[in-house]
Amino acid sequence: MAGIWRTTATAILLVVSLVILFDFAFKNPALQSLATDLSNWAVVVGAFALGIGAYSLILRHGGMIAKKRPVWPYSLLLLVTMFVFTVTGLITGSITSPQYNWIYSTFVMPVSSTLYGMNAFFIASASYRAFKARSWEAIVLLVSAIFLMLKNAPIGGVISPVLPQIGGVIWDFAGATGMRALLIGIGIGTLALGLRVIIGQEKTPLGGAE
Partner 1 sequence: MIDSATLSILISTTLILAIYTILYRENPAFRIGEHLMVGATVGHAIVLAIFQIRDLAWRKFQSGFATGNLSGIAYIIPMILGVFLYFQFSSKLRYLARISIALMLAVGLSLSIRGLIFVNVIGQIQGALAPLTSIQNIVYMIGVVCALLYFVYEQRASKLAGPLPKIGRYVLMLTMGAYFANTIMGRLSIVIGTLTSVFVAPAWYLIPVAFLIVIADVFIRRKSSTAS
Partner 2 sequence: MVAREILSRNYKQVIYLGLFLSLAIPLFNPIGLPVPVQKTTLGVYNKIESLKSGDVAVIGSNIGAAIYAEVYPQYIAILEHLLRKPGVKILLVGHGTEAPIWAERALKELNAYNRKSYGTDFVHLGYIAGEEAAIASLCRDVHSLLKVDYSGKPLSDLPMMKDIGSAKDFAIVIDFTASADSQYWLNQAYASYGTPVGFGLTAIKVPDAYAYYMAGQIFGIIESLSGAAQYENLIHKPGMAVTGMDAQSLAHLLYIALIIMCNVIYVTQRRTKK
Identity of the residue, 125 or 201, whose beta carbon is nearer to partner 2 in the bound complex: 125
Stretch that binds partner 2, among 55-63, 70-78, 143-151, 197-205 (CB under 8 A): 143-151
User: Per rule CB under 8 A, is residue 162 in the interface with partner 1?
Assistant: no
Site string for partner 2, 96-115 (x = CB under 8 A): x----x--x---xxxxxx-x
Alpha helix stretches (DSSP H) within 67-161: 72-92, 98-103, 109-117, 119-129, 136-152, 155-159
* Minimum CB distance to partner 1, residue 161 (Å): 19
Identity of the residue, 137 or 210, whose beta carbon is nearer to partner 2 in the bound complex: 137
User: Per rule CB under 8 A, is residue 65 in the interface with partner 1?
Assistant: no
Q: What's the sign of the alpha-carbon dihedral 88, 92, 94, 100?
A: negative
Largest Cα span, the chain:
72
Work out the burial of residue 171: count CB atoms within 10 Å of its CB; fewer than 13 is exposed, 13-18 middle, 19 or more buried. middle
If contact means CB under 5 to 8 A according to the sort of partner, which of partner 1, partner 2, none does residue 70 touch?
none
Other Cβ atoms closer than 10 A to 147:
20
Using alpha carbons, select from 40, 42, 81, 33 the residue that is nearest to residue 58.
81
Scan residues 171-200 and list those touching partner 2 (CB under 8 A). Answer: 171-172, 174-176, 179-180, 182-183
- Applying CB under 8 A, among 26, 55, 121, 136 the residue interacting with partner 2 is 121
Please give the Cα distance from 75 to 142 (Å, whole number).
42
* Minimum CB distance to partner 2, residue 92 (Å): 13
Tallying the residues shown for the chain, one arrives at: 210
* Minimum CB distance to partner 1, residue 24 (Å): 5
Please give the Cα distance from 150 to 27 (Å, whole number).
51
- Given a contact cutoff of 8 angstroms between Cβ atoms, the answer to whether 79 and 58 are in contact is yes
User: Per rule CB under 8 A, is residue 47 in the interface with partner 2?
Assistant: yes
Identity of the residue, 162 or 176, whose beta carbon is nearer to partner 1 in the bound complex: 176
If contact means CB under 5 to 8 A according to the sort of partner, which of partner 2, partner 1, none does residue 26 touch?
none
User: Per rule CB under 8 A, is residue 66 in the interface with partner 1?
Assistant: no
User: Per rule CB under 8 A, is residue 198 in the interface with partner 1?
Assistant: yes
